[in-house]
Amino acid sequence: MVAPRICVVGSCMIDLISTVPRLPVVGETLVGRSFHLGYGGKGANQAVAAARLGAAVSMVARVGRDAFGEGTIRNFEAYGVDASHVGYDDRRFSGAASILVDEHADNAIVIVPGANDGLSADDVRAARDVILGSDVLCCQLEVPVETTLEALRIARSGAVRTILNPAPAAPLPDELLRLADFCVPNEVEARMLTGQPVEDLAGARAAARVLLDRGPSTVIVTLGARGALLVERDSAEHVPPVEVAAVDPTGAGDAFIGALAVFVAEGRPAFQAAVAAAAVAALSVVHVGTQVSFPTRRDVEAFLGPRDAP
Hey, which residues are catalytic here? 254
Report whether 182 contacts 220 (CB < 8 A). Answer: yes
Phi, psi at residue 290, to the nearest 5°?
-110, -90
Other beta carbons less than 10 A from residue 122's beta carbon:
9
How do strand 34-40 and strand 13-19 relate by DSSP bridges?
A: antiparallel
Cα distance between the two ends of the chain:
13
- C-alpha pair distances (Å), 96 with each of 17, 83, 112, 164, 196: 11, 19, 5, 22, 31
Q: Are 280 and 304 in contact (CB under 8 A)?
A: no
Max intra-chain CA distance, the chain: 55
Q: How far apart (Å, rounded) are the C-alpha atoms in residues 7 and 161?
A: 10
